[in-house]
Chain A
Amino acid sequence: MARYAYFVDLSICAGCESCTVACQNKNGLPPEQVFTKVHREEAGTFPAVTSTFVTTQCMHCDNPPCTEVCPTGASYKTADGPVVVDDAKCIGCRYCITACPYDARIVDEDERVVKKCTLCFDRLQAGQQPACVQTCLTGARAVGDLDDPQSPIHALIKKPNTIQIAGTSFFYRLPEGFARNVLPADFKASGATFAWQSIFQPIGQVMLAGVTGALLVSVVSNAINARRQQQEGGEAHGDH
Chain B
Amino acid sequence: MESDDPYPVKAGIFFRVNPVKSSGDTARWIKALQKLELVVAIDTQMSETAMYAHYILPESHYLERMDAISVVGDTVSLRQPVIQPMYDTKSGYEIIQGLAKACGIGQYFEFTMEQYNQAQLGTTGWTLDQLKEKGVIKVSATPPDYSKLPTSSGKAELVHDGFAMSGGTRVPGWVPPKTQPGGDKLRLLHGHVAVHSNGYTQNVPALYARMPENELWIHPSVAGPKGIKTGDLVEVANELGKERLKAKVTEGIRPECVWLCHGFGTLVPEQRLAYKKGANDGALYPILMTPVTGALGQGDAVVTVRKVGD
Contacts and interface: CB of A to CB of B under 8 A. Distances in A.
Interface string A171-207: 0000000000000000000000000000000000000
A42 interface: yes
A20 interface: yes
A6 B67 CA distance: 38
Interface residues of A, number: 17
A42 B193 CA distance: 16
A46 B210 contact: no
Interface string B222-255: 0000000000000000000000000000111111
B105 interface: no
B218 to A, nearest CB: 12
Task: Specify which of B193, B195, B205 lies most central, judged by the most chain A CB atoms within 10 Å of its CB.
Answer: B195
Interface stretch (A10-18, A71-79, A99-107, A117-125): A10-18
A46 B254 contact: yes
Nearest to B195: A17
A160 interface: no
A24 interface: yes
Given A42-B252, A45-B251, A46-B252, A16 B206 contact: no
Contact of B206 (A21, A42, A47): A21
A65 B77 CA distance: 49
A32 interface: yes
Interface in B244-276: 250-255
Nearest to B254: A46
Given A31-B205, A46-B219, A17 B251 contact: no
Given A24-B206, A46-B219, A15 B195 contact: yes
A151 interface: no
A155 interface: no
A51 interface: yes
A16 B205 CA distance: 15
Nearest to B210: A17
A31 B251 CA distance: 31
A15 B194 contact: yes
B52 interface: no
Interface in A28-64: 31-32, 42, 44-47, 49, 51
B252 A32 contact: no
Contacts of B254: 46-47
Contact of B207 (A21, A45, A47, A49): A21
Nearest to A50: B252
22 contacts: A14-B194, A15-B193, A15-B194, A15-B195, A17-B210, A21-B206, A21-B207, A21-B210, A25-B206, A31-B205, A31-B206, A31-B209, A42-B250, A42-B252, A44-B251, A46-B219, A46-B251, A46-B252, A46-B253, A46-B255, A49-B251, A49-B252
Interface of B: 193-195, 205-210, 219, 250-255
Interface of A: 14-17, 20-21, 24-25, 31-32, 42, 44-47, 49, 51
Given A15-B195, A45-B251, A51-B252, 9 more contacts: A15-B194, A17-B194, A17-B195, A24-B206, A31-B209, A42-B250, A42-B252, A46-B252, A49-B252
Chain A to chain B: the 5 pairs with minimum beta-carbon distance, closest first: A31-B209, A16-B194, A49-B252, A31-B205, A46-B251
